[in-house]
A and B are shown apart, each in its own frame.
Chain A
Amino acid sequence: MNPAVDLREKVNEANLKTVEIMMSGTPIWIGDSPAIEVVPGMTKNTILHAGPPIEWERMCNPMRQAVLGAVVFEGLAKDLDEAKEAVEAGEIILSPCHHHQAVGGMTGITSASMPVHIVKNEKYGNLAYCLPHEGSSFKALGWGTNDQETLDHIRWMRDELSPVLDQGVKALGGININDIISRAIQMGDEAHSRCTAGTLLITRKLASALVLTDTPRDMLARVFEFLQRTDIFALHLFMAAGRAMVEPAKNIKYSTVVTTLCRNGVEFGIRVSALGDQWFVGPAGKIKTSYFSPQWNDDVAGRDIGDSSIMEVIGLGGLIHAAAPAHEHVLKGTFQSAIQKTEEAYTISVTEHPSWLLPTLDFRGVPFGIDIRKVVQTGNTPLIDTATPHINGGFIGSGEARAPMEAFEAALRAFGAMISG
């Protein structure tokens, strides 16, 4: 056989195998727990962050502020100044969420006593973790604020929200996130920036179980009040599900399928199945933002940040605006532009998901499995849905950004070297 044809077939076969492993995963939300009890490698002085690896000195301001907040939250320093001294003295271990089977929204800051959702990929047996969404208010560690109000809210999540969620999920015997995504994208979610339907579907399941428990009513009232005003709550479960789905699809020989897309606010990092845990980076993108208030503009906007782009890795978010015309409207687009963006995503994808279907495209499956060969060939880098942080911390808008071509080109060069070596 012609060696070139043989190689092409090997890559095509490997890519199909990779997406099959991802798509056949069965992510089940099995409970919530303090991070230190479940996250691999977590210690009392470890703080996880979003995106590819980055040292303290190069971190963007929102991420630095969130790190300092977490150091205080864990009682490792009495205030933010002392926290900075501790970090600069090397007393705090900073590590990407992705190196711990975890993902984190925006800054992604997750520390030992913070709660995490636990999602199990039942088919393959692996677990993944994500801090519950902190809510859609201006302040959150995820957005890079670190004042008393921010830390008090995390304390409430740790002491009340997560234990109640855990009780509800366990009473239900777990919640199948695959099914929730499948339904939500037919109800107007693109499952990244818009998760309203997914949150409603999860909330009603939890309600049916929690109402039968002996959880105090005032506690239930606070939990459901949080859920009813947090449309985006489901995102962090979707993210953990995505993380759980991609793990078994790593290290498939000859596969050019992307297994990670993430950002730390400075760099955008990708990983590719056949290239294992190697990172390939390019600059984090500027976000095309719809600001929540006229007081904010591009001058005060941080760059693209967060591990939530795991959603695009599994064919959702920016790849399927066709599922969420209402979100496209928020981004000042049209129904036609939503369709065009999704049509573009098919040009860089390996296949179409058999059960995640898009009603506006006559129930075509979502574009699934980003292929670095096609990205470099077409010049179409994945469109990433995202939220925009203020450069000094805070949630100021919703937007979209492009993954940088540099990362895909670097990965393709490494792949070329691998097959030549």
Chain B
Amino acid sequence: MQKPEHEPSDLSEIVAAGTKVINIGISTFAEALREQGVNVIEVDWSPPRKIQTDLSEILQKIL
């Protein structure tokens, strides 16, 4: 596989390049990047909750 012409060697180069990150879900990852000076936009997301069948049936009736 051909190497890119210039591969950033460390995080400081990524930061210097003005990299922006969209973090989806767990905010710990965003916090770690933010501490390194990376611009992070957070999207609050989690996988759809799996609800037990009997509870789901009750909810269908009343919600």
Q: Interface residues, chain A, CB within 8 Å of chain B? A: 4, 7-8, 11, 256, 340, 373-374, 376-379, 409, 412-413, 415-416, 419
Compute how far the CA of A340 lies from the CA of B46 in the bound complex, rounded to whole angstroms: 14
**B22-63, CB < 8 A from A:** 44, 46, 49, 51-52, 54-55, 57-63
Determine the chain A residues whose CB is within 8 A of the CB of B51 once the complex forms: 376-377
Complex CA–CA separation, A218 to B59 (angstroms): 61
In whole angstroms, how far apart are the Cα atoms of A340 and B26 in the complex? 13
A340–B55 Cα distance when bound, in Å, is 27
Smallest CB–CB gap between B63 and chain A, Å?
Answer: 5
Q: Chain B residues with Cβ under 8 A from A412's Cβ?
A: 55, 58-59
Q: A378-B49, A379-B49, A413-B54 given as contacts; is B59 within 8 A of A256 (CB)?
A: no
The smallest beta-carbon distance between A375 and chain B, in angstroms, is 11
Q: List 8 other contacts, CB 8 Å, given A376-B51, A415-B62.
A: A4-B60, A7-B62, A8-B63, A377-B49, A412-B55, A412-B58, A416-B54, A416-B61
Q: What secondary structure prevails in chain B residues at the interface with A?
A: helix
Residue of A nearest to B60 (CB): A4
Chain B interface size range: 10 to 19
Alpha-carbon distance between A11 and B58 when the two chains are bound, in angstroms = 12
User: Count the A-B residue pairs with Cβ separation under 8 angstroms: how many?
Assistant: 42
CB distance from A146 to the nearest CB of B (A): 41
Assembly CA distance A340 to B44 (angstroms): 10
A374 CA / B59 CA spacing, docked (Å)? 9
Is A377 in contact with B61, judged by CB distance below 8 angstroms?
Answer: no
Query: Does A373 contact B54, Cβ atoms closer than 8 Å?
Result: no
Per the bound structure, the CA–CA distance linking A373 and B56 in Å amounts to 10
Bound Cα distance A4, B55 (Å): 15
The answer to whether B58 and A413 have CB atoms under 8 Å apart is yes
Residues of A contacting B54 in the complex (Cβ-Cβ under 8 angstroms)? 413, 416
- The 8 Å CB contact of B63, one of A377, A379, A409, A419, is A377
B51 to chain A: closest residue by CB: A376
Please give, as numbers and ranges, the residues of chain A lying within 8 Å of B60 by CB-CB distance: 4
Whether B62 lies near A8 (C-beta < 8 A) is: yes
Q: Shortest beta-carbon distance, A163 to chain B, in Å?
A: 50
